[in-house]
């Protein structure tokens, strides 16, 4: 009898674990004992059925769980191979985000903390690049137990995501029109941004001009641009949209709305250099809150969802697998900058 089969047979008299758990724990035990190493091929399901006598579906379930833990990979027509010896992992999770912005760093840190050490997270960034997104999806296909993805809002993306079973995929951040069985925790951008701008009308109205920095080929939500244009039209605001901020071009009596932190810090740097008073000489409004915006220059006014709450709910989905369909609330945090 092979050492692997001995490990499995040793568990057969333990009544508290199921047959498929005997297979899983037996293989994990063989990895921990050095019997199986990375690159080793497991017996085929047919061989296991013949040697141990359990139903075929028992071995399919066991091998599937080992794949979800990131220990085993199936290669078409070649069988199942050991790809990791990290047996303490409960589940391997693929997390795909736009980029490592400060608010997505907050999401990741909270998500990581909530899942704990027994969940292995691999993080990928697509930078709103469709070709890169497709490459990532091709590379991670069938290698993870759970997928948490901030998608690109392009018409070809849903067909890529539908290749993942609904109980293993959570869509976060941007809403995507998917079949009803798929889960999401998303933001709503257009209506909520418009509403928050309306709330800020007394502050925005103090300035002669209201400028939004918005680059269309970036990962900025297009709905924010729509909300801005609608707002300045409805409320007769002297507004402009600029693709980028050029250093040393800030003007007094102007309020600036920045989605990108890069634009925000450049404006603030120039304001300090030119000794402009934030909240008086110029106004500042930013998208996506973080602790730096809370304290910099006496506080930056922001329109932002709560990424910590989003991350905590995403972690619950990964651990429990219960379907969720939720639009996260967006908050206006009024501070001294406007």
117/74 same-domain check: no
pLDDT of amino acid 202: 96
Does 95 map to a domain? Answer: yes
Single residue among 12, 47, 82 that ends a domain in this structure: 82
65/121 same-domain check: no
pLDDT of amino acid 334: 96
Does 333 map to a domain? Answer: no
Give the range of the structural domain holding residue 43, as residue numbers without chain letter. 3-82
Does 59 map to a domain? Answer: yes
Q: pLDDT by residue (tens digit) across 75-94?
A: 777 888 888 887 777 788 99
Domain holding 30: CATH number? 1.10.10.10
Does 334 map to a domain? Answer: no
Contact assessment for residue 303 and residue 335, using Cβ atoms and an 8 Å cutoff: no
Does 104 map to a domain? Answer: yes
237/204 same-domain check: yes
Q: Which two tokens stand for residue 127?
A: 């930078």
pLDDT of amino acid 192: 95
Q: Where are the alpha helices (DSSP H) in 183-242?
A: 190-199, 201-204, 222-234
pLDDT of amino acid 78: 80
Question: Distance between alpha carbon 136 and the CA centroid of its chain, in Å?
Answer: 14
291/322 same-domain check: no
Read off the pLDDT of each residue in 205-220 and give the average, rounded to a whole number.
91
pLDDT of amino acid 49: 86
Does 78 map to a domain? Answer: yes
pLDDT of amino acid 209: 97
Q: Which two tokens stand for residue 274?
A: 């030119």
To the nearest whole percent, how much of the chain has pLDDT over 70?
99
d(CA 172, CA 178): 12
Q: pLDDT-derived band of residue 65, with 50, 70 and 90 as boundaries?
A: confident
Read off the pLDDT of each residue in 166-191 and give the average, rounded to a whole number.
93
Q: pLDDT by residue (tens digit) across 129-165?
A: 999 999 999 998 878 889 999 999 899 999 999 999 9
216/321 same-domain check: no
207/296 same-domain check: yes
Q: Is residue 16's pLDDT more than 90?
A: no
319/280 same-domain check: no
* Confidence (pTM): 0.78
pLDDT of amino acid 50: 86
Domain holding 113: CATH number? 3.40.50.2300
Q: How far apart are the first and last CA of the chain?
A: 76
51/122 same-domain check: no
Q: pLDDT by residue (tens digit) across 236-280?
A: 999 999 999 999 999 999 999 999 888 999 999 999 999 999 999
pLDDT of amino acid 271: 94
206/139 same-domain check: no
Contact assessment for residue 39 and residue 78, using Cβ atoms and an 8 Å cutoff: no
Does 337 map to a domain? Answer: no
Q: pLDDT-derived band of residue 114, with 50, 70 and 90 as boundaries?
A: very high
234/282 same-domain check: yes
250/174 same-domain check: no
pLDDT of amino acid 194: 97
Mean per-residue pLDDT of the chain = 90
Q: Give the HSE-up count for residue 46: Cα atoms under 13 Å, Cβ half-sphere.
A: 1
Does 207 map to a domain? Answer: yes
Query: How many domains, in total, are found in the chain?
Result: 3
pLDDT of amino acid 283: 97
pLDDT of amino acid 71: 85
124/212 same-domain check: no
Question: Distance between alpha carbon 69 and the CA centroid of its chain, in Å?
Answer: 20
């Amino acid at each position: 009898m092979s050492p692997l089969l001995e490990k499995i047979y040793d568990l057969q008299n333990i009544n508290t674990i199921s047959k498929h758990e005997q297979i899983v724990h037996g293989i994990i035990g063989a990895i921990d004992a050095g019997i199986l190493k990375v690159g080793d091929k497991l017996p085929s399901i047919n061989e296991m059925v013949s040697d141990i006598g359990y139903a075929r579906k028992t071995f399919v379930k066991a091998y599937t769980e080992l794949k979800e833990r990131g220990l085993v990979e199936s290669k078409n027509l070649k069988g199942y191979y050991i790809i990791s010896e990290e047996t303490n992992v409960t589940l391997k999770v693929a997390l795909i985000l736009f980029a490592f912005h400060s608010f997505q760093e907050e999401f990741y840190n909270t998500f990581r903390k909530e899942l704990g050490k027994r969940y292995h997270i691999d993080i990928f960034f697509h930078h709103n690049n469709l070709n890169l997104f497709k490459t990532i999806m091709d590379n991670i296909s069938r290698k993870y137990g759970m997928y948490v993805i901030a998608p690109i809002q392009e018409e070809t993306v849903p067909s890529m995501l539908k290749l993942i079973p609904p109980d293993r995929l959570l869509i976060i951040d941007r809403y995507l029109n998917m079949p009803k069985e798929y889960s999401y925790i998303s933001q709503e951008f257009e209506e909520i941004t418009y509403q928050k701008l309306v709330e800020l009308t007394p502050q925005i109205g103090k300035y002669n001009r209201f400028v939004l920095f918005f680059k269309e080929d970036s990962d900025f939500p297009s709905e924010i641009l729509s909300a801005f244009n609608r707002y300045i039209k409805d409320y007769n605001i002297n507004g402009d949209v600029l693709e980028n901020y050029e250093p040393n071009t800030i003007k007094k009596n102007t309020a600036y709305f920045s989605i990108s932190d890069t634009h925000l810090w450049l404006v603030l740097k120039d304001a300090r250099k030119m000794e402009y008073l934030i909240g008086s000489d110029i106004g500042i409004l930013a998208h996506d809150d973080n602790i730096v915006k809370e304290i910099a220059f006496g506080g930056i006014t922001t329109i932002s969802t709560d990424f910590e709450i989003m991350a905590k709910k995403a972690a619950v989905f990964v651990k429990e697998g219960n379907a969720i369909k939720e639009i996260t609330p967006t908050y206006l945090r009024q501070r001294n900058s406007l």
